Amino acid sequence: MRYAKLLREYLKVNLKALAVYDLDFYFAIFGMAIQNILNIVALGFLFNIVPSIKGYSFQELILTYSLATLSFSIFRCFFINTLNIAEFINKGTLDTILVKPINPLFQLINQRADEDSWGDLAVSLILVIFVDVQLGYPWYITVMFIFISLFTSLIFMGLALLGNTVSLFSNGLSDLAEVTFDFFELSKYPLSIYSQALKWILTFIFPIGWIASIPQERIAQHHEWYWLFVIPVICVVFFVIIYQLWKLFLNKYQSTGT
C-alpha cells in the first residue's frame, strides 16, 4: 500500500520531468515509431527474396518482433534506470539512495524515466493487435500476449541487474547497459533460426527465448494454455534469483565502499 502510493508519486514526478523535454519528447516518439516501421519494412525486404523464413511468414515474423518490442518497451518505460547504476555509483547518488528508508531497487527504478520508450510501447502495442488481426487470431490471444509481456519484461530487468552486479563489483568501473540492448536484438527473431547450441543457451542460460519466441510458438501456434502459467513463473523465478544475486553484490559494494 505504501509502495503503491509512492509509486503514484514517482510516476507524477517522472511524467513532469518528461514534460521538460517537450519538443524533443515528441521528436523521440515520432522517431521511435518511424524506426519501428522501418525495421518492419526491412523485414519485409527479406520476404522479397524468400516466401518464408524457417516456416515463418512475414506476419508471423512481425509478431515475434512486436512481442519482443512490447516486452522491451515495458522494461524501458518502467525499469530502464537499472541500467544507469554505474553512473549512480560514480556520482555518489547510490549513497543517497541507500540512506533512505525504502527498498533500494525500488528507488533506483523510479529515479528517472526514459522519454523515448513511450513511442515504442504504443507502436508495439498497436503492432501486436494489428498482426493478430491479420493472422486471424481470436481476441483473447492478444490479451494473453499483453499479459505475458508484463512478465517477460522482468527477464530484461533481470539481465540488466545481472549487468549491474559487474558495476557494483568493480565500483562503477564498467557499464554493461549496451548488452541488454543486444539481448533485445536476439529476442526479436524466432529461436528456430539459431543453431542448436545457441537455442539451448537462449532457453536455459539467458532466457531470451521466453520473451517472444516461446510464447508465440506455444500459445499462438499450439494453443497450449498452461504456458500462460509456466512462462510468468519462469520470468518471476529468473528475476528473483538475479535480484538475490544483486542484493548480494550490493552488500559487497557496501563492504568495499569508495
Site for another protein in 209-248 (CB under 8 A): none
Q: Which CB sits closer to another protein, 116 or 132?
A: 116
Q: Is 202 in the site for another protein (CB under 8 A)?
A: no
Q: Which CB sits closer to another protein, 141 or 179?
A: 179
Q: Which CB sits closer to another protein, 103 or 221?
A: 103
Residue 56 identity: Y
- Helix/strand number for the chain, H first, E second: 12, 0
Q: Is 200 in the site for another protein (CB under 8 A)?
A: no
Pick left, alpha or beta for residue 55 (phi over 0 → left; psi -120 to 50 → alpha; otherwise beta): left
Q: Enumerate residues 6+ apart whose C-beta is below 8 A from 153.
A: 71, 72, 74, 75, 78, 79
CB 180 within 8 A of CB 156: yes
Among the residue ranges 7-15, 77-85, 134-142, 214-222, the one whose residues contact another protein (CB under 8 A):
7-15
Distance CA 159, CA 146 (A): 21
Distance CA 208, CA 112 (A): 26
What is the closest distance, in whole angstroms, from the C-beta atom of residue 131 to another protein in the complex?
19
Q: Is 150 in the site for another protein (CB under 8 A)?
A: no
Residues lying near another protein in the complex (CB under 8 A) are found at 2, 5-6, 9-10, 13, 16-17, 20-32, 34-35, 38-39, 41-42, 45-46, 48-50, 53-54, 91-93, 95-96, 98-103, 115-116, 170, 173-176, 178-179, 181-182, 185-186, 189, 193-195, 198, 251, 254-257
